[in-house]
Structure 1
């Protein structure tokens, strides 16, 4: 069994343990502090036998550990294992040199996505289109400015001229995703976001909805994107220290 399959099974076991309302309530109760099984039963109005059953399931899933009191040795306390909850998140993507958002005309969704990524996440980012328009849609520029972002009205580009090896390519429209699905396509997106085209409605509300959709997706994606390692620090020939560290020391 490979590591990915093992990880999926472990996560499924945790999800199954959390699938009962009483067990989820116990986890909630232990999120900010430890408690004895008796205290849990009292607070959640659960009989002793049910508390024991639910705690065992949570322990078997690795979510809860039990320790003996340093005071009254007959008493035990339950403690949540937060790393197990954190591990429920999907695994990270492969390291990427840059994130590139692609749509059909590179005039709205991909432009907004790149501007959002640059503002909220940072790091190398670009956008492109399968059939780029001559300019960025004026409503996209206006919505971007409203949210403190900047778009170049003439900054559209063709996908062939932008995407390079090592990029994480994300198609933010259905047409671009489907255009790039064939074997002859120059680029195959790693991810697809089915964001409705705001230009079809051509209202500020539609562009705002696209902006909000993209913003939420970027917030969810960002923690899973691992940046590619940068070049090694240059070493100063005189001191043997890296130039980066030397500059930082002098700047400090």
Structure 2
């Protein structure tokens, strides 16, 4: 009985946090990607003190967490907690012709993301880097093979040579997200820690799991909208 009451109390706290229109707008903005508090304020036309207040309530309810940027260490990014996403209505992602995953060196996270996406969705996916390395990281290749992916054809590429105007660009790297110009700014940002500095299988496995979990939540939304578009064309 005590366990049931605790569960009800936790659920009630989440529902109470979402009962405010401003907080619900923040959650909607974070469903598909992470954002800095200042970005949320600009997007929602909300003063910084109000954003800080609402984020505090959401964080206390366990709906969001903060992480320090690996690029500009003064910045923090806010992300939703996966376990609560089922309570959040998903925004639509229409007219997505292709997904491009971007990180700095295009040697690990973006390569894994494009490969995982290709197994989850019929929408095409590729990867690129802002400062591509000469080769894919050996540990990324190792993890990919262990997870049943086929990395033999992976090659690094420059983002400017890959991205097209209609692409859904997803930055899986803080540094790439912060350094891309405004006209090429990714529509979605995932603050996935870089496994390269640790250079362990565990770090690369953790990056794989983080990316796969996010793709599992996003891919059905994109695929679903593609399906709706095709049905509309036939009718």
Q: When the two structures are superposed, what TM-score results if normalisation uses the length of structure 2?
A: 0.58
Q: 1:162 maps to what in 2?
A: 162
- Structure with the larger RCO, 1 or 2 (CA within 8 Å, 6+ apart): 2
Is the Cα contact below 8 Å between 1:93 and 1:224 reproduced in 2?
yes
Query: Counterparts of 1:116 and 1:150 in 2: how far apart (Å)?
Result: 10
Query: Counterparts of 1:174 and 1:18 in 2: how far apart (Å)?
Result: 27
Query: Counterparts of 2:107 and 2:153 in 1: how far apart (Å)?
Result: 9
Q: 2:179 maps to what in 1?
A: 179
Query: Counterparts of 1:201 and 1:87 in 2: how far apart (Å)?
Result: 34
Is the Cα contact below 8 Å between 1:135 and 1:153 reproduced in 2?
no
Q: 2:69 maps to what in 1?
A: none
| Inter-CA distance 124–204: structure 2 relative to 1 (3 Å threshold) | same
Is the Cα contact below 8 Å between 2:114 and 2:125 reproduced in 1?
yes
RMSD: 2.7
In the alignment, structure 1 segments of 5+ residues that lack a partner are: 1-13, 20-85, 234-252
The 3-state SS of whatever aligns with 1:199 is: coil
Are 2:217 and 1:213 equivalent residues in the alignment? no
Is the Cα contact below 8 Å between 1:102 and 1:129 reproduced in 2?
yes
Is the Cα contact below 8 Å between 2:111 and 2:154 reproduced in 1?
no
Query: Counterparts of 1:157 and 1:143 in 2: how far apart (Å)?
Result: 20
Query: Counterparts of 2:187 and 2:108 in 1: how far apart (Å)?
Result: 20
- Cα deviation 1:76-116 (Å, max 9, x = unaligned): xxxxxxxxxx8942221232110110000000000000000
Q: 1:189 maps to what in 2?
A: 186
Richer in helix (by share): 2
> Rg bigger for which structure?
1
Deviation at 1:196? 0.6
| Inter-CA distance 154–135: structure 2 relative to 1 (3 Å threshold) | farther
Q: 1:30 maps to what in 2?
A: none
Deviation at 1:132? 0.5
In the alignment, structure 2 segments of 5+ residues that lack a partner are: 1-13, 20-85
Q: 1:23 maps to what in 2?
A: none
Query: Counterparts of 2:152 and 2:167 in 1: how far apart (Å)?
Result: 22
Q: 1:227 maps to what in 2?
A: 226
The 3-state SS of whatever aligns with 1:200 is: coil
Query: Counterparts of 2:199 and 2:213 in 1: how far apart (Å)?
Result: 21
Q: 1:104 maps to what in 2?
A: 104
- Cα deviation 1:52-76 (Å, max 9, x = unaligned): xxxxxxxxxxxxxxxxxxxxxxxxx
Are 2:116 and 1:119 equivalent residues in the alignment? no
Deviation at 1:188? 1.2
Q: 1:131 maps to what in 2?
A: 131
Is the Cα contact below 8 Å between 2:173 and 2:192 reproduced in 1?
yes
